[in-house]
Structure 1
Amino acid sequence: MTGALPEPYEALRLRTRAFIRDVVIPAEPKPGTTLPDSTRLALMQRAKDAGVFAPHLAPEYGGQGVPLEHWPAIFTEAGYSPIGPAVLNCMAPDEGNMHMLELIATDAQKERYLRPLGEGAVRSCFGMTEPHPGAGSDPRALRSSAERVAGGWRINAHKRFISGAEGAAYCILMVRTPAVPDEGFPEGATMLLVDMDHPGVRVGNPINAIDTAIAGGHPHVYFEDCVVGDDAVLGAPGEGFAYAQVRLGPARLTHCMRWLGLAKRAQDVALDRAANRELFGSPLRDLGVAQDMLAQSEIDIATSEAIIDRTAELLDRDPDAGAALSGVAKVHCSDAIGRIIDRAIQICGGDGVTDALPLASYANEVRPFRIYDGSNETHKWAIAKRASSRRRREVEAGAPRLDAVDEHGADTWGAR
C-alpha cells in the first residue's frame, strides 16, 4: 500500500501516520473502554489543524478529497489506533453514510445532513438490521414499513443493533414501501432521512457487544407512527436496495482497511516481544515456532493489502464489479485480521490476555467483523453462487466440461 500513492496522497498518508503515532496513540483510553466525547472532539480539531481530517470526503464538506482507489493506505494508517478512525472522522457508520449522501442526496439534504456530519459536528446511524425474522445478513428480509400519506410517509419500524444510534443526530432508515402507481413509485425499499429527535422515534435498550470503538453503541431503535415529509426520501422511493449497495460495497472494504491497521499494530507488538523475550537461551524470534507465526501473519497482511487495493481500484472504476469483490475481501480480511491478532496474543503469552497489553481488546474489536456487514457465511454463499453461475455461462457458451469421464470411468481431459 505504501510508496505507490501519487502526490499529494502520499504526503497525506505520511501526515496521517505521524498524527496517529504522535497525537492519537498517547490519548488512547484504557483498553476496552470508549473514548469520551470531549476527548474525541478535541482530537478531531487537532486532526483538522493537521490537515488529516475526513480523508474520504470532498473538500467542500470538510474533507481531504481522496479518491476511493487511494483510501486503503490512508485508512490503514488511521486504523493503527482503535480510536484513529473516529478522530479522523472516517469511522463506521458515519463514513459510509457520508459516502452515500455525497453520491445520492439532494443539495438541500447535503447541507442539512452531510455538511455537519463531514465537519464532525454530529454523528449518524444506518437503520437496516431488525429483530429476527427481519433483515440481518439478508437485507431482503426487511419487514419495517412506511405507508404513503399526504405529502410524506408514516413509518412503523423496530430496528436492532443500530450502530452509533445513541447520541446520533439522524438515521438513514431502510423501510419497505408500497407501489404508488399514481406517482410512479414502485414497490420496494426506500431510504428515509429521519432526525433522531423527530416525534415517534425512540432509542430502546442497548445491546452490549464486545467491541467498543463505535461511539453510540448498538441499541434497539423504534419508529412508531413517525411521519416524515417527502423531503426525507433519500434518492427515489422504491430504490433503496440499489442505494444500499452504493453504501455497503465501500463500507465493507473500509472496515477491512481500518482493522488491517490494527492488525499491523498487533504484529508490531508481536515482533517487539519476539525480539526482546528469551526462551531456552535464544531470542523468541529465533525459534521456529515463533518464526512460523510471524511469517504467517506477514503473509496475511500482504494478501489482505493486495485484495483491498484491487477492490478499491475496481470500486472506483466499476462499482457493480467492485461490490462483488468487496464480499471476497470482507471474508478474507476479517478471517486474516483475526488470525494476526490471535497469533500476536499467543506470542506474548500471559501478557497477551491481560490489559497490560492492548491485544485482547483488539481481538474483541475485530471479532464482530466476521458478522457485521453480512456474516462471512452469507458472503461465502453469494461468492459460491456467483462462481457457479459464471462457470455455467462459460459451458453454455461452448467451453468444455472438465469433469467429463468416458463410459469406462476414465477422465477424458487428456484425450482433448
Structure 2
Amino acid sequence: MKLLLIKGIHFLLSLMGRGGSLPGTIALKMDADILKKFKMPKKVIMVTGTNGKTTTSNLIVESFAKAGYRVIGNRKGDNLKEGIVTLLCTHSSLRYEVQADVVVLEVDELTVMRVFKDLGVTTFVVNNFFRDQLDRAGEMETIVRRIESVLDDYEGHLILNANDPNVVRLADSAKKADIHYYGVGKNEVSSETSNEASEGKFCPRCGRSLHYDYYQYSHIGKFVCECGFGKNDIEYFVDAIDYENETFTMNQKTYHSFQNAIYAIYNCAAVLCCMGVNGVSDECANEVFKTFTMHKGRNESFDLNGKCLLNLVKNPTGANEVMKAIMKNHEDKNVMIILNDHDQDGRDVSWIWDAHFDLLIDEHTKRVLCSGTRAYDIALRMKYEGYENIEVYERVEDGIVRLKELKEDAYVIATYTALQSTRSIIRRHAS
C-alpha cells in the first residue's frame, strides 16, 4: 500500500507539472529502509565524482538504450537519496521489482555511502574529485574517505579515472573489486606545469611528491610516485584527440566527441570503459556521441539577438574549464556571471578566489555583467583582477535584457540554483 500511495503522489504531481524528489522524501518518511526492498536488475551502474556526473550517466543511459536494453536513470540529476528512491518507486511493480534491464544512477559524492550497499551496484564509475562546496562537503579528503569506506567488500566492476590520483587511490580500498582504468594521453591542451588549484601534489599512499609528465587541467594528468603509485594498466586509453574535427582515438579506433573539450573526452572514455566491461558494443556509445546534445542550461545555446551560451559553474576547476572554452572565441563578446549562495550552491563562495577569472580578460571581452545573490562579490573578484568594465545587476532579468541590447556574442555562467531560473529568463527573451 505504501508503494501504491507513492506512485499516486507522483502521478498527481506530474499532472500538476511538478516533479522532483518529493515522492522519495515522503517514501523515506514512511519507511526509512525502503531502498533495501527493491529487487534490482542484473546491471546497476552508479556514477559519482565532482564534475561530469550528469553528462556521463546520461551518456551511459543512452548507450544502453541504443543497444536495446530497457534502461532507467535519474537523468535530471536528482542525485540525493530522495531522488533515487523517487526513481525506483515510479519504475517498480507493487512487489518492488524494478521494471528495467539496467539502472543507471548519478549519485552525489556524499550520498554514495548512504545508498551504495542497498542498491546492489554492479558497476561503479568514478570521474574525478575536486574541492567543491566546502561548507557542505568539507575538504575533498573527507569525501574520498567516505567512498573508500563502502568498497572494502565490493566485488563488482570499479571504473576509475587513471589521471586523477584521488580517484586511483580507491583501488587500494577495493581489494575484491574488478578494477578497470581509463585515461587520456598528452594532447594539444596538455602542459608540463599547472598553476590551477591542485589536490594532487602528494602521493596518497606514501606522502611523497607526485611527479607529473603532463597536466590536462587542475591535477588531472599523467602522474607517478617513487613507491609505484600511479603505475596502472590503462585498458581504455585515448592516445590522440583531433579537436578541429571533434574526434579522438582510443585503442586504435576513432570515435566522435559530443563536445570539443578535454573534459568531454574524459566523459566519453568513462562511458566506453563502462560499456566494455558490461559487454556492450562500443558502436552503441559512438552513435550516441554523434548526436548527444547538452541541455537544460548545460552548454545550451540560444539566440539572444546573437549567440548566447549558458553554462553551469560550481567550483574552481569547472569554472576554469568553462572560461577556457569561452575564450576559444576570439571575437568580441560579453560575459555574465550569476553567483548565488543558497544551500545547494554552498553558502561559502570563497571558491571564486581559487578560480582563474583572469582567463576572461582580453581585448575581446567587452564587459562583464555580475548578478545573483552575491553579485557584488563576483564584481569585486573581477575588479581585483584589474578588469574595469563591470556592470552589476541585482535582478538577473535586467542583466539578460542588457545582454540582448548589445551586439556581441553573450556567454552566461550561473551557479546551481541560478541555472534554471536564468534559463527560463533567457528563453523568454530569445528569438
**TM value normalised by structure 1:** 0.29
Q: Hey, which of these two has a bigger chunk of helix by percent?
A: 1
Q: Hey, which of these two has a bigger chunk of strand by percent?
A: 2
Larger C-alpha radius of gyration, 1 or 2?
Answer: 1
User: Which of structures 1 and 2 has the larger relative contact order (alpha carbons within 8 angstroms, sep 6+)?
Assistant: 1
